[in-house]
Structure formats: structure tokens, C-alpha cells
Amino acid sequence: SSPDSDSSKPELEKAGLLNKTKISEGGRKLRKNWNQSWVVLVGNSLVFFKDPKSQTPSSWKPGNSRPESSVDLRGAQLEFADCLSSKKNVFKLRTVTGNEFLLQSETDSLVREWYNTIQGVIDRLERE
């Protein structure tokens, strides 16, 4: 292992439940399909898992659950986007590849925390 193996170990920044829908794929608009997602911010990525509560108790165990998808935050853009939904507390995440996601929760403070934490990672990656 390298001397800097500590700094190369992805850091878990945040994890929790958010409502999520993908609205574009490579710049092409998609039909919304809101679902609750278990969201994990680790290293340079935002990783989405299916909502554990929507699965049978035996099928979901931490660590043996495969991500549904994963987003590289390098060069990504965030903006609050209440105008893009009838829901409140919505923000949009756009990747360099032109994929766009809306993320939302009924809890204002939780959404602000997620927004700020993700923006912090985007800013860190820009400085690297």
C-alpha cells in the first residue's frame, strides 16, 4: 500500500433518505419518476441505493446492498430548483455528462445540509 493510502481512502461525508428523480440523461429530457432513495456521499461520488424500507427486511443489509447508480461530482453543478417541481425544497444536480437529477425532502434543514455538503465536495474537487 502507498504511503498516502489514508488520504486515498474514500471519506464518508453523509448518508440519508431523499426523494429523487432523474430528469435528463445525456441532455435528453426524461419523464419524472420520483422515488425514495438512500443517498450516500462518499469520496467524489453521490451513490444511490433503493429505499431500504421498500424492500423486505431480509433483502437489505448494510454492506450487501448494490448501488442503483452513482454520480461523479467532479465538474457537477447544483442549484435550488423549486420551479422545476410542485414539491418544495427541490434542488437539481447536473453532471458533466449531462445527466440531471432532482433531490427533495419535506424537511427544509435536511435539504440545505445536503446541498451545502455536496457543494463542498464539488468545490474541493475544483481546487484539486
Q: Is residue 124 involved in binding ligand I3P (CB under 6 A)?
A: no
Nearer to ligand I3P among residue 47 and residue 84 (C-beta): 84
Cell of 49: 441505493
Q: Is residue 87 involved in binding ligand I3P (CB under 6 A)?
A: yes
Stretch in the footprint of ligand I3P (CB under 6 A) among 41-49, 75-83, 85-93, 105-113: 85-93
Residue 108's H or E segment, with its range, is helix 108-127
Q: Is residue 88 involved in binding ligand I3P (CB under 6 A)?
A: no
Q: Which of 32, 53, 88, 124 binds ligand I3P (CB under 6 A)?
A: 32
Angstrom CA distances, 108 to 63, 80, 105, 115, stand at 29, 12, 7, 11
Cell of 111: 435539504
Q: Which residues bind ligand I3P (CB under 6 A)?
A: 31-32, 34, 85-87
